[in-house]
Amino acid sequence: MTELWRLDATELAQGIRTRRFSSREATAACLARCEAANPKINAVVDVLAEQALAAADAADRAVREGTPLGVLHGVPITLKINVDMAGRPTSNGIVALRDATATENAPVVDNFLRAGAVVIGRTNTPAFSMRWFTDNALHGRTLNPWDPSVTPGGSSGGASAAVAAGIGPIAHGNDFGGSVRYPAYCTGVYGLRPSFGRVPAFLPSAKEERALSAQLMSVQGPLARSVRDLRLALAAMAVGDARDPWWVPAPLEGPAPERPIRVAFTVSAAGERARPEVVDAVRRAAGWLADAGYAVEEVDPPDMAEAAKLWDTIAQGEALHFLSDAVAKMADEGMLTAWRYMCANTPRNDAFGHMKALARRTTLIRRWQLFMARYPLVLTPVSAEAPFPQGLDVSSQAGMDRVLRAQGPQFFVPLLGLPALSAPTGVVNGVPMGVQLTGQRFREDLVLQAAEVLEGRFASPAPIDPA
């Protein structure tokens, strides 16, 4: 029973439901793994051991009493510290918010709890959740279990490191510019960014509404060690909530597509030349899909580079107006440096320029919808490079520019509101390598099916012992 932390959520849920083992045993095993592994990686910064064991006992009582059970009943998970969980501080990695205790749950937290999940802890994020490196003055730096000298990703770096190290089979994350997909890429696990409108989002503790770009592009998504666990997590997270006016009651399974399913793939990273190991990963994944009967064709999707640049124009352009004062007042030294470098090349649009950029976004969405009517799946790099060395973004302006150039494949997805998944394909020079699958809006089912093909050829090596 002490090895239950090695099981994925699907097997844990089935074992708890059939009383092969208890939720308390599974939760205790994951907490023990946290106690052993977390000091080496600093992934979980708010351990909820007592609360989790009480929730596990309640889950076991429900099983004994024959109460209807949710899809994640009794399964240990982690939440990111930038969403509200009643009674816990929503610090978002900011020293000034260390005591900002939430009084109610965010919709995604309520959905996990309704599905029966047991929250064992909350994971680290960079200050303001705005870097691809997870480090802050409040909780410190999260290390990659594979290699502490490279980033575990960000902003859901604590989530990815926890899952990779066996601290819970499912981690909650959120993704505005790659914050689920990139951490999954860096740690060799699976990360799903759902379609815009699929999972309800709201931060009850917020003083005012988010910038429009965040409302239209930021989503909540799961990280896991298996594709089937992503399915479970998505089903739990996608239940509607009246607090999110953007939520759409779309079915999790769409109509059967025409076969063979066509896949467009490119080794271009939104106009940037990818490193050889990245190119090899994409070509390998394309071959695996072709072997499985997909009609795979090397073709560049429309306007990837423009879409990536437009994400910066809109998202970072709004951040300059909405976040500059808060960053100046509350950011730590690392975030201040990253912010300065990150914003150096962002266009300073006036209101009319911003409206034109939003209008152009509609044009690009239309072009992609037409393209994806022919190619329902698109295979690309996640990043033009292997996981970056720790601190590259704050090393210099050149370091940040290198990061931003490489991350273009992550930017076009939120601009277009599409679902995308990061899947591992191998290990190169001691760190994971992977690819990104993007699908039509609300067709996570097709993305997950294709990811299962990749998983069949290379399954995530996680959980691993931290290096």
**Residues designated catalytic:** 80, 155, 179
Distance CA 130, CA 394 (A): 12
Are the C-beta atoms of residues 463 and 166 closer than 8 Å to each other?
yes
Are the C-beta atoms of residues 125 and 134 closer than 8 Å to each other?
yes
- Quickly count: other Cβ atoms within 10 Å of residue 427's Cβ: 13
Distance CA 11, CA 75 (A): 10
Are the C-beta atoms of residues 232 and 10 closer than 8 Å to each other?
yes
Instruction: Determine the Cα angle at 154 with ends 149 and 155, to 5°.
Output: 150
| Residue-wise DSSP of 208-275 | SPPPHHHHHH-EEEEEESSHHHHHHHHHHHT---TT-TT-----SS-PPPPSSPEEEE--EETTEEPP
Which residues touch 425 (CB under 8 Å, ≥6 apart)? 281, 284, 285, 433, 434, 435, 454, 457, 458
Distance CA 43, CA 28 (A): 18
Quick one: which H or E segment has residue 416?
helix 408-416
Are the C-beta atoms of residues 112 and 119 closer than 8 Å to each other?
yes
Longest dimension (CA), the chain: 62
Q: Which of 37, 8, 225 is nearest to 143 (CA)?
A: 37
Phi, psi of 35 (to 5 degrees): -60, -35
Structure tokens belonging to residue 315? 């998202």
Q: Which of 186, 197, 203 is nearest to 80 (CA)?
A: 203
